[in-house]
Amino acid sequence: MNALPPIQGQQDSAAATGERARPMVILCPAPQKTERIFTPETLRRLRADFHVVDLDGEPDSALDACLPDAFAVIGQPDLPRERLRRAGKLRALLNVEGNFFPNVDYETCHEQGVHVLGAGPAYAQAVAEHALGLALDLARGISREDRAFRAGRETYVSAGTEDSILLRHASVGLIGFGNLGRALHRLLVPFAPTLRVYDPWLPDSVLREHDVLPASLAETLAASQFLFVLATVTGESERLLGPAELDTVPPGARLILVSRAAVVDYDALLDRVRSGRFLAGVDVWPEEPVPADHPARSLEGLVLSAHRAGGIPQAFTEIGRMVLDDLALIARGLPPVRMQVAARELVGRYRNRPVS
C-alpha cells in the first residue's frame, strides 16, 4: 500500500527540522554584496548544506538573536568579547572584505576555538598580474607613448626607446612575500630575474625554498631595477619607505606599489618621481578617491591606477567558492585550507583600512 502524502503542517514541521539539523550560517557580508561574491550555483550549494540566515541590512538586534545558534558568520560585523561570549556554537568567522579590522576581539575568538579566516588569497593572482602589467608598462613606456601618439607627438623605432629596459634577467626586489609576493613570484619566474625578497616575518630557509634570495631591506632597495612593494601595514611597516630609504633605490629603477598606501611616504615618493630619479606605478593611495587637484595626476613618470588591481569579478566569485569549501571542511571537523587563517600572533597587528 502506498503511504499517504504528509499534510501541510507535517511538511512545515519537517522543513523546520531540516533547517535546525543543518549548521546555521549568518550572512552579513557588507561592504561586499552577496550577489558579487556568490554565483547562483555557489549560493545554492551554500543554502543546501547550511541553514543560511541572511542579515544583510538588518539591525544589530537580529544578529544578537541569531548568534547563540550560529555555526559561522560570513562577514565581519562588530564582535566584541561580550558578544562572542554569547556565541557558544560559533566555529568560524569568514571575512569576505579582505582586511582584518579591529572591530573583532580576536583573542576571544582564539580562546573559543573560532577559525578566523580572510579572503586575501582570492585577490592575489589578480593583483600579481596587474603588478606585472605595471612593471612592463614602466619598462617600455607603453601608456606614456600611447598618450604621446594620441596627441600627435609620437616617435618611431629607437627614437622613443632610450629609457626602455628589459625585465628578463633584471635585478628584482619584493618587499613582502605573503599571498601577493608568492603569486607574483610565479609570474616572474619565466623572466629569469635575480630575485631578492625582504620579509621579516619569514626565516631565510623558507625564502630559499622558493628559490629567492633572502635580503635585508637595505640590500633589496639598493639592488633592485624593479621594486615591488607588496607588504601589509602594521605598526612596524607603516611608512617603511621614507625619504632615506627611497634615496637608496637605484636611479632609473621602476617602483610598483600595489599593496597598502601607508607603507610608503607619498610626498617623498612623488618628489623622487618628479625629479626623475625613478619611475613608479601606483594602485593604492592615502586618500581615495584621489582629489582632483592631486599633484600625482600631472607627473609623467608615474603610471596611475585607481585601486583596481584586485577587485575584478573573477576574484570576487572566488571568495564565494573559498567560503563554501572551507565551511564544508570545518563542518566535517577538518581545518580550513583555502582562506587565509588569521594567525593569533599577527591578526591584532594589522593596520589596514577598509576598501570603499
For residue range 35-64, list pLDDT tens digits in order: 999 999 999 999 999 999 999 989 999 999
Q: Which of 221, 287, 232, 279 lies closest to 258 in space, CA to CA? A: 232
Strands 115-118 and 340-341: antiparallel
- Residue 1 pLDDT > 70: no
Domains detected in the chain: 8-119+313-349 (3.40.50.720), 122-304 (3.40.50.720)
* Strands, sheet with 70-75, edge to edge from the N-terminal-most edge strand: 51-54, 24-28, 70-75, 92-95, 115-118, 340-341
pLDDT digits (tens, 9 = 90+) for 199-250: 999 999 999 999 999 999 999 999 999 999 999 888 888 899 999 999 999 9
**What is residue 354's predicted lDDT score, i.e. its pLDDT?**
55
pLDDT digits (tens, 9 = 90+) for 261-319: 999 999 999 999 999 999 999 999 999 999 999 999 999 999 999 999 999 999 999 99
- Residue 3 pLDDT > 50: no
Residue in the block written with cell 555557489: 42
- Report the chain's mean pLDDT, rounded to a whole number: 92
Q: Which of 175, 176, 163, 159 lies closest to 251 in space, CA to CA? A: 163
Stretch 337-345: mean pLDDT, rounded? 92
pLDDT digits (tens, 9 = 90+) for 327-337: 999 999 999 99
Sign of the alpha-carbon torsion through 208, 339, 45, 19: positive
- Residue 8 pLDDT > 70: no
∠ Cα 186 190 196 (to 5°)? 65
What DSSP letter does each residue of 176-201 carry, written as one string? Answer: --SHHHHHHHHHHGGG--EEEEE-TT
**What is residue 351's predicted lDDT score, i.e. its pLDDT?**
63
Q: At a CB cut-off of 8 Å and minimum separation 6, what does 311 contact? A: 123, 126, 355
Q: How confident is the model at residue 355 (pLDDT cuts 50, 70, 90)?
A: low
Burial class, 291, CB count within 10 angstroms (exposed 0-12 / middle 13-18 / buried 19+): exposed
Distance CA 179, CA 138 (A): 23
pLDDT > 70: percent of the chain:
93
* Global confidence as pTM: 0.90
Q: At a CB cut-off of 8 Å and minimum separation 6, what does 68 contact? A: 86, 87, 88, 89
Among left, alpha and beta (phi > 0; psi -120 to 50; other), residue 131 is alpha
C-alpha cell at 58: 538588518
- Residue 7 pLDDT > 60: no
**What is residue 349's predicted lDDT score, i.e. its pLDDT?**
75
**What is residue 174's predicted lDDT score, i.e. its pLDDT?**
98
pLDDT digits (tens, 9 = 90+) for 148-195: 999 999 999 999 899 999 999 999 999 999 999 999 999 999 999 999
pLDDT digits (tens, 9 = 90+) for 57-98: 899 999 999 999 999 999 999 999 999 999 999 999 999 988
Strands 226-229 and 24-28: unpaired
**What is residue 110's predicted lDDT score, i.e. its pLDDT?**
95
